[in-house]
Amino acid sequence: MQPKDFDVVTNATPEQIKRLFRNCRLIGRRFRLAHIVFGRDIIEVATFRGHHGDNSDKISKSNAEGRLLRDNVYGNIDEDAERRDFTVNALYYDISDYSVHSYGGGIQDLEAGVIKLIGDPETRYREDPVRMLRAVRFATKLDLTIDPVAAAPIKQLSGLLKDIPAARMYEEVLKLFFAGQALNNFNMMRKYKLFAPLFPQVEHLINEAPHGCAAKMVQEIMLSTDDRVKQEKPVTPAFFYAAILWYSLKERAEEIEIESGLSSYDAYYAAMGDVMEKQCQTISIPRRFSTPAKDIWQLQLRFERSKGGRAFKLLEHPKFRAAYDLLLLRAAAEGGTIAKTAAWWQKFVEANEDERTLIARAKNKGSTAKKSNNRRRRRPANKKPKITEAP
């Protein structure tokens, strides 16, 4: 197996590293790290972690649930290995003799295809609940199974993820769903109840209708994202969040329309802020992605209204391609009217300029004829019969 990258670790403290390298800066409060600038690259260097003692209140701290809020207790390589989360993550490559040091049976566990925690699973998950997500990610990425002892407390402790800072969860979502194992990670996360703390609005819809449009959409998104990663095509969080939250947006818009009496169009606009704000409570979505996601939503409302020149104008929108891709996913999830709309747009997009003009005109004529047929004919006014007098 070829390593993707290496984590650099040393027995030097962050302050000692900073004194050695002029181009070094220290970051982090929870875990103090040294960033050494090397050309365009940044080499992150950690110090061996040690065991917490009775007199380490100033350098380590945990909350009532056992989650580590600060952990800057330093030690040696043996102590650091014991502080690692999984045995497969406690492998050290020694550059002095090019050897790999395995602690806790990491190499044997890799060969056996199993992920085991170092230490008591419940204690380790409480120290850092993100370890539950890491267990899932390592299992799917390395084609391993989670050891039953390590898996046992996950469902019970899954709610601890709600306490993780939303900014950190954003980074974890990128690792889970943008590395080619999105569908496998999603399925395993739902198995261990880890999806709900991250996407409560989506989980609510899936629970209400396990085979409904929202559930189908999530499957389509994960498959599509995995395919794009395998084909080395770009994937963007803006499209991902716009797609996965579409039916949450639709539900909220319908609620607003009923409650306030707004038009459907205005209700959708009002719902966009509500849905995105609620999602950002668990996953902090940067504005550079949340704003384009709203553009993609807004374009969904224009697809069925576009005819004649409007279709050409919509085609020029910077977010058209992403919105069009979402329309195709909606068609796969819903069928019916949306599928017909998607089929028309697919024909329009794939046509050349002359063909597009004909397609747009045909739609325009069809719409005009439909309106004409729907017009109510005015009934002639009832005329009173003429009364003629006899001569």
Alpha-helix runs per DSSP H in 192-234: 200-208, 213-230
Q: Catalytic residue at 7?
A: yes
| Cα–Cα distance measured from residue 73 to residue 80, given in angstroms and rounded to the nearest whole number | 10
Q: Catalytic residue at 41?
A: no
Question: Residues 85, 128, 147, 226: which is the catalytic one?
Answer: 85
| Cα–Cα distance measured from residue 137 to residue 176, given in angstroms and rounded to the nearest whole number | 6
Contact of 296 with 323, CB cutoff 8 Å: yes
**Any idea which residue has 């909350």 for tokens?**
63
Cα dihedral 247, 250, 256, 259 in deg (nearest 10): -90
Neighbour count for residue 238 (Cβ, 10 Å):
20
| Cα–Cα distance measured from residue 157 to residue 66, given in angstroms and rounded to the nearest whole number | 12
3-state secondary structure 278-338: HHHCCCCCCHHHHHHHHHHHHHHHHHCCCCCHHHHHHHCCCCHHHHHHHHHHHHHHHCHHH
Neighbour count for residue 261 (Cβ, 10 Å):
9
Tokens of 111: 């060969």
Neighbour count for residue 178 (Cβ, 10 Å):
17
The C-alpha angle 99, 103, 104, rounded to 5 degrees, equals 150
Q: Which amino acid is at 134?
A: R
Axis crossing angle, helix 237-244 with helix 246-260, rounded to the nearest 10: 50
Tokens of 286: 């940067």
Q: Please enumerate, as own/partner, the contacts of 330-333 that have beta carbons within 8 Å and a separation of 24 or more.
A: 330/217, 330/246, 330/300, 332/216, 332/220, 333/213, 333/214, 333/216, 333/217, 333/220
Contact of 81 with 10, CB cutoff 8 Å: no
Active-site residues, by number, are 5, 7, 85
